[in-house]
Copies of this chain bind each other. A is one copy, B any other.
Amino acid sequence: MDLTVSPRAAEIAADVDTFVRERIEPAEAEITRDYASMRARGENSFVVHPKIDELKAQAREAGLWNLFLPAGEHGDEWAARFGTRGGKGFSNVDYAAIAEKTGRTALAPLIFNCNAPDTGNMEVLLKYGTREQQEEWLVPLLEGKIRSAFLMTEPAVASSDATNMAARAEVDGDEIVINGRKWWSSGAAHPDCKVFVFMGLTDPDAPRHAQHSMVLVPADAPGVTIERALPVMGQLDEPLGHCEVSLENVRVPASNVLSGPGQAFAIAQGRLGPGRIHHCMRLIGLAEMALERACRRGTERVAFGKPLVQLGGNRERIAKARIDIDMARLLVQNAAAKLDAYGTEGARVDVSAIKAVVPQIACDVIDFAIQMHGGGGMSDDFPLTSAYATARSLRLADGPDEVHLGMVARAELKPYLAAVKGEAK
């Protein structure tokens, strides 16, 4: 495959990198500290730190904005309208290079208006929203004025099997009635979160992947309660938050059902392909950040008369981290290229492959960086435990490792099982 990044994307990736290193990372410690202070004072920390708004404005000004918008008719149109530098969307290969650079710190994607789950929700609105829905929700999202959440995972069932989803989205005349409890709804704690993309069971008698619907639910609809923000290995990830949300007899117009009842899985498939590429590339950026810190700390700290990097197996671990990161990046770029060339279905197995392997590699590299930092690595003085929490959670979010390995295995075995069956005839 041609994994070459276009000159425009390469330039933007470089500018994003500079922006992250020179503006976001220096602000990160302050922002993190301020959120911690708010929590320590018992204040609501799910507020937008003024520094974030300031950086967002700078990013938008620089055209480093909505970079996730896909190339092609619709993406280009929105990109032109909402300030992406160059005025066009990007291929997956191109955006992957940019996403890597935004992955160095948890704050960056938000600042470039490229963070999950808003990106995925915006793509859904872009593809499946009516013009009215786009004007109501997509426009302010693209302007970074409002935020959104995606309500899929449920506390009461094993959500690794998405067909387990039990929350209901039932048709009642020209309304949809929603009941159930969701969690891990990232972004729902953000003060500007105005809309949920909700998935729920509409018709238990339909075929397995046509029972569920995807519905737009205003965050302030009667019956919606944000129960709590869940910690992820102790991290609250302000200002987004990962929430448990209950929905009790929430009623929305039937027109809020995206693409019609029973289409949730069909839409989700298309949403998840690029989303997983983004997640994985951001993790590669995160792993690069961790490796950088490991190398720097390891050359500066001295034990037994030598810098840490000269002791024991540390150099081998640095080399393995480098190699693993490079392999991971190539695998993601290759999946991105396939997604560009063959579409969601043609790249499905490749996307599962990266999702099954990249978070683990990121975890390993970050864990090594923690170890190189000694006790400090376990504290919040370095963004390493939060990086670990992010990477570790992606071994579960958007499908656990095991489910994705299962997809890869199924594809690999398909011809052999067919041959055996053929024989059996």
Contacts and interface: CB of A to CB of B under 8 A. Distances in A.
B413 A303 contact: no
A4 interface: yes
A319 B356 contact: yes
A396 interface: yes
A401 B367 CA distance: 13
A417 interface: yes
A374 B353 contact: no
Interface in A402-425: 402, 404-410, 412-413, 416-417, 419-420
A390 B353 CA distance: 28
A420 B300 contact: yes
A397 interface: yes
A40 interface: yes
Nearest to A318: B409
A266 interface: no
Q: How many copies does the complex hold?
A: 4
Contacts of A184: 375
A388 interface: yes
Interface string A292-305: 00011011111110
Contacts of A39: 39-40, 42
A132 to B, nearest CB: 34
Contacts of A370: 392
Interface in A235-257: 235
Interface in A299-330: 299-304, 307-309, 311-320, 322-323, 326-328, 330
Interface of A: 1-4, 39-43, 153, 155, 157-161, 164, 183-184, 230-235, 291, 295-296, 298-304, 307-309, 311-320, 322-323, 326-328, 330-331, 334, 353, 356-357, 370-371, 374-381, 385, 388-389, 392-393, 395-397, 400-402, 404-410, 412-413, 416-417, 419-420
Contacts of A401: 371
A395 B413 contact: no
A320 B360 CA distance: 12
Nearest to A244: B379
5 contacts: A2-B4, A158-B301, A234-B385, A296-B419, A378-B393
B375 A323 contact: no
B4 A299 contact: no
B380 A231 contact: yes
Given A313-B313, A316-B402, A408-B322, A392 B378 contact: yes
A320 B405 contact: yes
Nearest to A421: B299
A352 to B, nearest CB: 8
A143 to B, nearest CB: 31
Contact of A160 (B315, B374, B400): B374
A323 B357 contact: yes
- Interface-central residue, A3, A153, A397, by most chain B CB under 10 Å: A3
A378 B389 contact: yes
A162 to B, nearest CB: 9
A416 B299 contact: yes
Contact of A316 (B41, B312, B397): B312
Contacts of A42: 39-43
B420 A396 contact: no
